[in-house]
A = this chain, B = another copy of it.
Amino acid sequence: MKQTVQKDSSINSICIWVVEDNLRYRKTLSGLINRTSGMVCPQAFARCEDALKVLEKESPPDVIMLDIGLPGMSGIVGIEKFKLLSPKVHIVILTVYDDNDKVFNALCAGASGYLLKDSSPEKIIDSIREVLAGGAPMNMQIAHKVLEIFSSFKTKKSDYGLTEREKEILQYMVSGLTKQQIAESLFLSFHTVNTHLKKVYLKLHVNTRSGAVSKVYKENLL
């Protein structure tokens, strides 16, 4: 990993693009990258649209440092477009936004990292190396947000007092079967299924199959 002297830094260097609307920050960022040995930033854009246009013709960079609050196409949408054109490119979000929604959407869209703009230059450079090493660079607070998002998935299994049999039959209904079909699947009489479903409706406080199915998904029952 020892650094070697090399004239043309673009050879064997990590190639990074920057998409950032703020001129000063864009210059700072590209400057930081270009001053780092082993890295080059040959392109810096103010808007996703511009970067996408270039990406259609030229070969993709290794990493794209992407802002979220951009004029025109937002960074979130940009991620998907970039990934569509060059699935292998690593996209690291570098933004001021740290709300759960932005973080969630960016990561779902395929971002490989998420940094806040208050990160130190060292952290930013490190994150580029980290993402290429197969990691997922994140600020401490972002990592924390990520865990928050996960734990919000844990719907507390709201219990309507359904019996096992009732859950089983509800399961079948959720998958789209009619009462008759459910009865056949479970070797029961139609009337039995009917009775069970009656109780299910009572317990779930619904009176249509769609309402029941909806409740199952929304509250993560079964």
B interface footprint on A164-204 (CB within 8 Å = 1, 0 otherwise): 00000000011111100000000000000000000000000
C-alpha gap A112/B145 in the complex (Å): 11
Chain B proximity of A79: nearest CB distance (Å): 10
Interface residue count on the A side (C-beta < 8 Å): 40
Chain B proximity of A132: nearest CB distance (Å): 11
Chain B proximity of A20: nearest CB distance (Å): 22
C-alpha gap A154/B141 in the complex (Å): 23
Determine the chain B residues whose CB is within 8 A of the CB of A107 once the complex forms. 147, 150-151
Of the listed stretches A37-45, A46-54, A205-213, name the one at the interface; the rest are far from the partner chain: A205-213
C-alpha gap A176/B212 in the complex (Å): 8
Q: In the assembly, how many copies of this chain are there?
A: 2
State whether B110 touches A151 (Cβ < 8 A): yes
The verdict on A116 contacting chain B, using a C-beta distance below 8 Å, is no
The verdict on A146 contacting chain B, using a C-beta distance below 8 Å, is yes
Which of A135, A150, A151, A153 lies at the interface centre, i.e. has the most chain B CB atoms within 10 A of its CB? A150
State whether B109 touches A154 (Cβ < 8 A): yes
The verdict on A138 contacting chain B, using a C-beta distance below 8 Å, is yes
State whether B136 touches A143 (Cβ < 8 A): yes
State whether B134 touches A141 (Cβ < 8 A): yes
Residue in B133, B140, B144, B150 whose beta carbon sits within 8 Å of that of A140 in the complex: B133
A-B contact pairs, 9 of them (CB 8 A): A107-B151, A108-B153, A111-B147, A143-B143, A174-B210, A176-B211, A209-B210, A210-B210, A210-B213
A residues with a Cβ closer than 8 A to B are 104, 107-112, 130, 133-138, 140-141, 143-144, 146-147, 150-151, 153-154, 173-178, 206-214, 217
